[in-house]
Structures are given as structure tokens and as C-alpha cells.
Amino acid sequence: MEFEVSNQSGQHAGKKAAEFFTRPGLSRLAVKLYEKYIEVGQVGGQVILMDATVDERRDIASFLGKPLYADTRLKVRLKDVEKALEHSFQCTLPDMLRAHFPDKELVTRAQQRADHAIYQAHFRSALSSITAELPLESRGRYWMEQGTHGQEWLFSRYKNAKAEEQERQLQLVRYIAHLLNQLPQPDAPQRLALFAQRTSGDPHTLDPDRPAGRLLLLALNDLMQGASDTAVAQIDREQALRLYGDAGLLIDTISSSVAVFNLAGAVYHNGDPDQLPVVAGRRVLLLPLSQLLEWGDVLPARTDIFVFEN
């Protein structure tokens, strides 16, 4: 109870001192004092006020109980300011700074570094916990411990990310690490979309343009390459197909051309007819997909046969 009363008293006195420091002759000094306190982490050192105005020289000298400054370059010791605050307002320099800058945290650089180190350590610990969940001889465990894009790479990449992003990455890493231990057997390959559906509930989770899909390819590449110090910037389509194949995952490939037949006609989006189907008659046309996208409507030659073969 005594501490609570003392703390409230300090806050009240700090507010009165902060109001005093809002006057034009002291406001610039308050900013300098805040910056210095954050830098050194204690009431120590001094600040230098360049090109001090007449009001600043008068008000600062009056507050500190010193003769009027003749020079426009003022040196002010933080301990002198705290001594004056204790005498005039019965508060400390930190009390005044907290009240004067309510929207800023009064956290010193040293404390910021310590807090950041703890923040990073928590993320490393979370990654280590995921690794510890995995069987010793499993692919997921090997990737996390030995993979180029395993635990150490993930820590380095996301150790400074925001908490929400770190949590997203941890969920993603846990999913991929466990997924590596569920890859299909070589004699029973499985479509990637079905594998994604079975392991996540979404057939597109492991698409190569999704975060999980990109991380899976990096992990598969690590398993194929073994221990390496070189991170992969990007995996091209050919490499991806090889990695999927080695992992027993089948990819749906779509041709860029289609065979079209039994068309009586086709109309562009602007209403103009395309004469190509008319000239082709009953013959099969091999057309690029881009050609089909240019058509707004097509007319079948027969009601029971109308096929786009892919």
C-alpha cells in the first residue's frame, strides 16, 4: 500500500512537471532529455542544445538555479535536471518524461536489446519444440536439424518478424515437418492435390505458389541434396516436377493446346464471327488455349457431340 501511494504521488508530481516543461523555453530540452535517457539508460550524461533562443536560455537557467546563459550552445547535465525536479516538483526525471511523453514507452536501449533477445529466444525455443516432436530417424527431423532451409534458416529469416507472422510460420513449419513423414510410398504415388486435401483439408494448400507449397519444395530439395550451406533462391518448374516425382507426388499438367471438333461456328466477344471453325468443317482443330479465351460463344455442329479435349 505504501508503494502504491508513493507511485501515485510520483505520477501526479510528474504530470505537474510535464506541464511546466511544455512552455516554449523548455519543450526542446524535454525532447533532448528523453532521447538521452533512452540512450544511456539512466540519469547521467549531458545534452547539448544548439542555437538556444533567449527564452530557452532564460527558462533553463531559472529552472536549474543558474546564472543566465551567455552562449547559445547550452550544455545541460541530466543529474542537474533531476535535482531541480526533485526540489521543485518532488519527482524524478523518469517521472517527468513518462508524463511528458505518454504515447512513448520509456524503455532504454539496453532494455530494448534485452527484450528483443528474449523475443528471439522464444521463437528459437518454439522451433526447437517442433523439432523435438518429430521421431529421431524421420525425414521431418532430418530436415529441421540438417536441412539448408531447416530450423536455423527459419530462425534467421523470421527471428525479427512480428509475433503474428512468427505464429503463422510456426504453424506452417509444424505442418510441413510432420507432412514429410507422411509422403506416399514409391510404389503408391498420390496426386499432390489429394495429398494436400488429406493432410490439411484444402486441395490447394500445397500449390507451389502458396506458402506451404513453397516451403515443401525447399524441404524436398534439402532432403534430396543432403546437408548443404547454400540456400536456394528459387526452384524452377523442371526442378519442382523432379522433386515431386521423387517424393511420390503426382502433378496435374495441362496442355497449352486443345483439340476442338464438331464446331459449327464461333463468335468473338465483340460479336464478330470466326471463320476458322466454318472452314474446318468436320476436321479436328488444334488450337491454343488463348484462342478459346478470345471466343465469347461457340456453336456445336451436333447436339450430342461437342468436345474440348485437354
Q: What is the pLDDT of residues 217-248, one digit of tens each?
A: 999 999 988 655 555 667 888 899 999 999 99
pTM score of the predicted model: 0.61
Question: Cα–Cα distance between 165 and 203 in angstroms, integer?
Answer: 23
* Helix or strand (DSSP H, E) at 80: helix 78-89
Alpha helices in 150-229 (DSSP H): 151-158, 163-179, 192-200, 211-225
Q: What pLDDT shows up at residue 121?
A: 97
Eight-state DSSP code of residue 229: S
Q: What is the dihedral of CA 134, 140, 146, 150, to 10 degrees?
A: -100
Q: What pLDDT shows up at residue 256?
A: 62
Residue 3 has pLDDT above 70, yes or no: no
pLDDT tens digit string along 86-140? Answer: 999 999 999 999 999 999 988 888 888 999 999 999 999 999 999 999 999 999 9
Q: CB 121: neighbour CB atoms within 10 A?
A: 11
Distances, alpha carbon 72 to alpha carbons 33, 54, 76, 78, 81, in Å:
18, 8, 12, 19, 18
Q: What pLDDT shows up at residue 232?
A: 60
For 159-169, what is the mean pLDDT? 97
For 149-154, what is the mean pLDDT? 96
Mean residue pLDDT of the chain comes to 88
For 137-162, what is the mean pLDDT? 96
Q: What pLDDT shows up at residue 1?
A: 35
Q: What is the dihedral of CA 279, 285, 290, 291, to 10 degrees?
A: 10
